[in-house]
Amino acid sequence: MSIAMHEISLSVNGETVRERVEARKTLVDFLREDLGLTGSHIGCEHGVCGACTVRIDGTIMRGCLVLAVQCNGARVETIEGASDSGEIADLQEAFQRRNALQCGYCTPGMLLTAQELLKSGGMKDRETIREHMSGNYCRCTGYQAIVDVVEAVAQARGGKK
Amino acid sequence: MKIVADLPSGLTALDRPNSYIGRSVPRPNLARLTQGRGQYVSDLTLPRIAHVAFARSPHAHARFKKIDVKAAKASPGVIAVVTGTELAKVITPWVGVLTHLKGIKSAPQHAIAIDRACWQGEAVCAVVAKTRAEAEDAIELLEIEYEELPAVVNPETALDAKTPIIHPELGDNLTFERKHEAGEVDKAFKDSDEIVETTFVFGRHTGVCLEARAIVADWNVGEERMTVYQGTQAPHMMQNLFAKHLGLAEHQVRVITKDVGGSFGIKVHTYADEMAVVALSKLLKRPVKFVADRLESFVTDIHARDHRVKAKIGVKRDGTITAFEIDDLTGIGPYSVYPRTSGIEANQVVNLTGGPYKCPNYRALARVVFQNKNVMCQYRAVGHPIATAVTEGLVDLAAMKIGMDPVEIRRKNLIPDDGYPCAAPSGIKFEKLSHHASLDKLVKMMGYEKLRAEQEELRKENIYRGLGFASFIEVTNPSAAFYGVGGAKISAQDGATVRLDAQGAVIVQSGVTEQGQGAEAVLAQVVASAFGVPLERVRVITGDTDNTPYGGGTWASRAAGIGGEAAWQAGKALRQNVLAVAASILQADPKVLDIRNGLVVDTDGGRERISLEEVARIAYFRPDTLPPGFQAELMATRHYVPRAWPFAFTNGIQSSYLEVDIDTGFVKLLRHWCVEDCGTVINPQLVDEQIRGGIVQGLGGALYEHCIYDDRGQLLNGNMADYLVPMASEMPDMDIGHVVSPTADSELGAKGAGEAGTAGAPAAVMNAINDALRPLKAKLLTEMPFTPERILKALGRV
């Protein structure tokens, strides 16, 4: 059995990447195994837990439900990219201060999901935040600290877009 | 607080310039985790690494006659296909028993099953390949002939004569039994005005760590050493077990634990597939990696709870509780888990039931039986959620029977705050608890009267809200009484080594581990305070058996209380050592010197005398300038184990306020309160977040989480879509309060806080649901999880 390889070209955190991948390889496996971007985590591999959340063409997606070959030509951003650009520095700092992470395994996905909500602008009430964050599981914190942080950062960013 | 003892400054530990005790400083290791720069075992790769996947039994109980490995061996990328028989030449089997659990028995368990699989999910063959995907491809090509055997799946009939015996050589399916009686139980029931009996059922659930179990084993045949990178809570315990079963000396095994993506008790056990990984590495002489996928996590990570408790309480008309009686039955897996055994949870239920109350009459029976289901063992708050729900459920029923407010009956019966030290009828000993102070604080925090009024008012609008309470006790800081006395090589003591580096910073090496609780932050706070430096100048190293003092790790809420005390003592010892060097340099009496804010100062007046960097420079690079015969010792090690008490019990009380939708059966959690007493609070934010996280795990068990097995022993919902865990939108905000009763067993006085939330939350929710439905004459709900279906059934609506 020999598995056909497919050449893909995409932008990952602003860098152009050309690789040959198996058709069956998920995006998150590609990021972790082929590119060494281990900040995107694998929690369930069936699209439930949100640990593998990444941005594809600006929208958050589950890295375990997208194949790498489907991302040919796409713009992919991971937690490493969002960290290095400084885009979510305030959110990361607030997570640390409020201890909104314990084991930290869900955190990269949480941050990207929170950032999506925050980018939509305006103040956020706790119910909206809880609803938006519900696709990302956390087994450690009980969520309250995460909600506190998102609420505080929304306020700190002045409710501006 | 009494942590003033021998501090030379005359200041209390809290007043010292660098006291971080009681301060909510952020954890030092969080930045990298928020940037995706953690180092979890799942992330690790090594030169020549190979990946293993396991063929797992699809049957709960089956003999397998033949494994045809030919096609699998020829599959691309495959390095080896290894059966249980072949692996048994490299690794010996084990039996999960402890001598202090009298009569507990189990059968030898192999790393990979030999001839017979005893639960759905047990590994029957390993395939090692260049990638995990290739290993899984080859698994598909294995031809395994199974002969299905009858499965034992119902604990109630496990001991019946006609039920097959899973391990015939053991004689029956009984793993462990404990009977206990104290006081005059029959007389007490006879003298009661009312007796209430009911049965509580606790669904099997599991930890669902977001990072599944992960291990990389690297046998270096050149140096005859096994390095194991493992997401574990107990590196030294695993070092001992890997060595023992591979036939190595302990010093030939190094266990390294970096970031761990959740543990909760799941990662403190010996897993057959992880033992297989170390054996495969030894066999193949190369690194082998295994990361459980989510589906195999559900059928191999230990399950917990799954208890049925028939329970009875007697009460007098004035509210005095006269007796408790329980009959607990729990169905574990086919093996008692090694080395902590699967008897501990039932044993804890016997120890803890009735524990908060002064009632002296108590009878308990606990039986643990084998099942052809996944193994069961200790998960966060072992036994506590069961004992607390049984106790608190009974207390509420008694209160209802005599028409007493649930707060009042607790006030009347909780052990008085000035009644310590004392022992419970189960034999457990309490140094100092604060049930009444906690209850008073909770009632005030939540605004009890107002909520009752609101509840009453809303009932008129057909809105059904309930309030439920749960007083609880929690086992923390275990001495050797937990495992060591039973023969397990699990360290009760822990150590800390503290060293001054050449620039005046402090390096701490500790035997406890960090899985997100904040142990490293607490150690840094304690050492900074004891030694006298700003927190930024303390670096903590944990999770490496080559580079940390021997210790137990992090479980049973022991890291802060035991690891913290060792670090405190080590910090103080290093301060003395450094002051001796400084005094020698300054030709002063060390007694008149102190270390504050990273400087050696005069105790009186605080005038700077010499910097730590200068002390280190002289001690390390110009020792020739020190007086003849003087040797600087800029490293100190101290160990600690609780000796005065077998366990440092903590206590607390929780309350849940919720609303039941009587049309859909859905429960909406509105608010949750917890007041707890873990003694000295080293980092209030970390304690509060441990409690919040613990509460939510308890809420999961109460409302959603359930490993559902069919009558053939098949797990029906073993995936994350069907096995429900709490989500952000369903969880309430939680208010946490504290009462502080330090333990006198240590100078820090800290007890544990990691399991208090999980201990009490299910009971509080259960009582709140029944409180909400009381006016509707609903049947009592005592079977967890409280699903909409069960609630609608209790209401007679389906």
Q: pLDDT digits over B634-670, tens only?
A: 999 999 999 999 999 999 999 999 999 999 999 999 9
Q: What is the pLDDT of residue B13?
A: 59
B329 φ, ψ (degrees, to nearest 5) = -130, 130
Establish if B606 touches chain A: CB-CB under 8 angstroms. Answer: no
Establish if B263 touches chain A: CB-CB under 8 angstroms. Answer: yes
Question: Across all residues in chain B, what is the average pLDDT?
Answer: 96
Query: pLDDT confidence of B293, banded at 50, 70, 90?
Result: very high
Size of interface A-B (CB pairs under 8 A): 181
Determine the 3-state secondary structure of B795 from DSSP.
coil
* CATH architecture label of A86-156: Orthogonal Bundle (1.10)
Q: What is the pLDDT of residue B644?
A: 94
Helix H or strand E segment including B243: helix B235-246
Query: pLDDT confidence of B18, banded at 50, 70, 90?
Result: confident
Establish if B727 touches chain A: CB-CB under 8 angstroms. Answer: yes
Least CB-CB distance to B210: which of A83, A129, A137? A137
Task: Establish whether domains A5-82 and A86-156 are of one fold.
Answer: no
Find, in chain A, the residue whose alpha carbon is nearest to that of B727.
Answer: A134
Please report whether residue B145 resides in a domain. yes
User: Which A residues 13-32 touch B at CB under 8 Å?
Assistant: 22, 24-25, 32
Same-domain pairing of B685 and B576: no
Nearest residue to B653 (alpha-carbon basis) of B476, B465, B437 = B437
Nearest residue to B337 (alpha-carbon basis) of B368, B358, B309, B362 = B368
* B-interface mutation test, from A2, A31, A52, A103, most B Cβ less than 10 A away: A103
Express each pLDDT in A132-155 by its tens digit.
Answer: 999 999 999 999 999 999 999 999
Find, in chain B, the residue whose alpha carbon is nearest to that of A54.
Answer: B36
Residues 6+ apart with CB under 8 A from B218: B46, B226, B227, B228, B229, B281, B286, B287, B288
The percent of residues above 90 in pLDDT, for chain B, comes to 97
Least CB-CB distance to A139: which of B133, B210, B517? B210
Name which of B18-32, B367-381, B712-726 the model is least confident about. B18-32
B563-600 burial by CB neighbour count: b if 16+ within 10 A, else e? Answer: bbbbbbbbbbbbbebbbbbbbbbbebebeebbbbebbb
Least CB-CB distance to B210: which of A38, A51, A133? A51
Tell whether the model's pLDDT for residue B9 goes beyond 60. Answer: no
Tell whether the model's pLDDT for residue B537 goes beyond 80. Answer: yes
Establish if B231 touches chain A: CB-CB under 8 angstroms. Answer: no
Do the chains contact at A38 and B30, CB–CB below 8 Å?
no
Do the chains contact at A131 and B731, CB–CB below 8 Å?
no
B513 interaction partners in chain A (CB closer than 8 Å): none
| Averaged pLDDT for residues B67-71 | 97
B675 φ, ψ (degrees, to nearest 5) = -115, 125
| Cα maximum dimension of chain B | 89
| Averaged pLDDT for residues A33-41 | 98
User: Which B residues 67-106 touch A at CB under 8 Å?
Assistant: 75-76
Helix H or strand E segment including B579: helix B564-586
Number of structural domains, chain B?
Answer: 3
Same-domain pairing of B678 and B538: no
Tell whether the model's pLDDT for residue B211 goes beyond 90. Answer: yes
Express each pLDDT in B404-454 by its tens digit.
Answer: 999 999 999 999 999 999 999 999 999 999 999 999 999 999 999 999 999
Least CB-CB distance to A42: which of B42, B259, B719? B42
Residues 6+ apart with CB under 8 A from B56: B120, B121, B122, B123, B124, B296, B299, B300
Residue B58: C-alpha distances to residues B71, B82, B270, B712 (Å): 20, 18, 22, 11
Query: pLDDT confidence of B7, banded at 50, 70, 90?
Result: very low
Closest-CA distance, B691 to chain A, in angstroms, reads 9
Find, in chain B, the residue whose alpha carbon is nearest to that of A102.
Answer: B516
Residues 6+ apart with CB under 8 A from B443: B407
Do the chains contact at A99 and B516, CB–CB below 8 Å?
no
Looking at residue B563, what DSSP letter applies? I
Least CB-CB distance to B734: which of A43, A136, A144? A144
Q: Which of B572, B606, B640 is the last residue of a domain?
A: B640
User: Which A residues 53-72 touch B at CB under 8 Å?
Assistant: none
Same-domain pairing of B535 and B606: yes
Residue type, A153: V
Same-domain pairing of B518 and B451: no
Please report whether residue B387 resides in a domain. yes
Least CB-CB distance to A101: which of B34, B212, B720? B34
Least CB-CB distance to A105: which of B31, B262, B264? B262
Do the chains contact at B33 and A134, CB–CB below 8 Å?
no
Do the chains contact at B75 and A1, CB–CB below 8 Å?
yes
Express each pLDDT in A88-117 by its tens digit.
Answer: 999 999 999 999 999 999 999 999 999 999
* B-interface mutation test, from A46, A99, A126, A128, most B Cβ less than 10 A away: A99
Establish if A43 touches chain B: CB-CB under 8 angstroms. Answer: yes
Same-domain pairing of B518 and B578: yes
Tell whether the model's pLDDT for residue B4 goes beyond 60. Answer: no
Nearest residue to B391 (alpha-carbon basis) of B441, B435, B349, B345 = B349
B669 interaction partners in chain A (CB closer than 8 Å): none
Please report whether residue B479 resides in a domain. no
Same-domain pairing of B761 and B665: yes
Residue type, B765: V
Q: What is the pLDDT of residue B5?
A: 41
A46 interaction partners in chain B (CB closer than 8 Å): 294, 719-721
Q: What is the pLDDT of residue B6?
A: 42
Contact B468, B396 (CB under 8 A): yes
Tell whether the model's pLDDT for residue A2 goes beyond 70. Answer: no
* A-interface mutation test, from B27, B33, B725, most A Cβ less than 10 A away: B33
DSSP labels for A21-40? EETT-BHHHIIIIIS--TTS
Closest-CA distance, B476 to chain A, in angstroms, reads 19
Express each pLDDT in B74-104 by its tens digit.
Answer: 999 999 999 999 999 999 999 999 999 999 9
Pairing of strands B225-230, A59-62: unpaired
Establish if A37 touches chain B: CB-CB under 8 angstroms. Answer: yes
* Token pair in block for residue B202: 């606790």
Express each pLDDT in B471-506 by its tens digit.
Answer: 999 999 999 999 999 999 999 999 999 999 999 999
Tokens 């004891």 -> residue: B530
Residue type, B388: T
Which ipTM was obtained for this model?
A: 0.97
Contact B734, B652 (CB under 8 A): no
| Averaged pLDDT for residues B736-755 | 96
Same-domain pairing of B699 and B778: yes
Closest-CA distance, A160 to chain B, in angstroms, reads 24
Please report whether residue B542 resides in a domain. yes
User: Whole domain around residue B535: which residue ranges?
Assistant: 30-38+493-640
Residue type, B17: P
User: Which A residues 132-161 touch B at CB under 8 Å?
Assistant: 133-147
Express each pLDDT in B103-113 by its tens digit.
Answer: 999 999 999 99
Closest-CA distance, B527 to chain A, in angstroms, reads 21
Establish if B729 touches chain A: CB-CB under 8 angstroms. Answer: yes
* A-interface mutation test, from B130, B208, B210, most A Cβ less than 10 A away: B210
Least CB-CB distance to B40: which of A37, A105, A143? A105
Q: What is the pLDDT of residue B737?
A: 98
Residue type, B197: E
Q: What is the pLDDT of residue B318?
A: 98
Question: How many beta carbons lie within 10 A of that of residue B708, not counting itself?
Answer: 13
Least CB-CB distance to B26: which of A37, A99, A105? A99
Do the chains contact at A40 and B36, CB–CB below 8 Å?
yes
Express each pLDDT in B224-251 by its tens digit.
Answer: 999 999 999 999 999 999 999 999 999 9
Helix H or strand E segment including B82: strand B78-83
Pairing of strands A15-22, B608-611: unpaired
Q: What is the pLDDT of residue B732?
A: 98
Tell whether the model's pLDDT for residue A17 goes beyond 70. Answer: yes
Closest-CA distance, B661 to chain A, in angstroms, reads 19
Least CB-CB distance to A140: which of B38, B516, B730? B516
For residue B136, the domain's CATH number is 3.90.1170.50
Closest-CA distance, A29 to chain B, in angstroms, reads 11
Pick one of 3.10.20.30, 3.40.1160.10, 2.160.10.10, 1.20.1420.30 as the CATH number of A5-82. 3.10.20.30
Please report whether residue B2 resides in a domain. no
Do the chains contact at A78 and B36, CB–CB below 8 Å?
yes
| Averaged pLDDT for residues B149-174 | 98
Establish if B693 touches chain A: CB-CB under 8 angstroms. Answer: yes
For residue B590, the domain's CATH number is 3.30.365.10
Express each pLDDT in B301-346 by its tens digit.
Answer: 999 999 999 999 999 999 999 999 999 999 999 999 999 999 999 9
Tell whether the model's pLDDT for residue B169 goes beyond 80. Answer: yes
Q: Which of B593, B614, B640 is the last residue of a domain?
A: B640
* Token pair in block for residue B310: 């028939």
Do the chains contact at B34 and A45, CB–CB below 8 Å?
no
Least CB-CB distance to A99: which of B27, B211, B291? B27
Same-domain pairing of B663 and B633: no
- Burial (Cβ within 10 Å: 0-12, 13-18, ≥19) of residue B100: middle
Domain boundaries, chain A: 5-82, 86-156
Least CB-CB distance to A96: which of B30, B261, B262? B30
Do the chains contact at A143 and B728, CB–CB below 8 Å?
yes
Establish if B30 touches chain A: CB-CB under 8 angstroms. Answer: yes
B658 φ, ψ (degrees, to nearest 5) = -145, 170
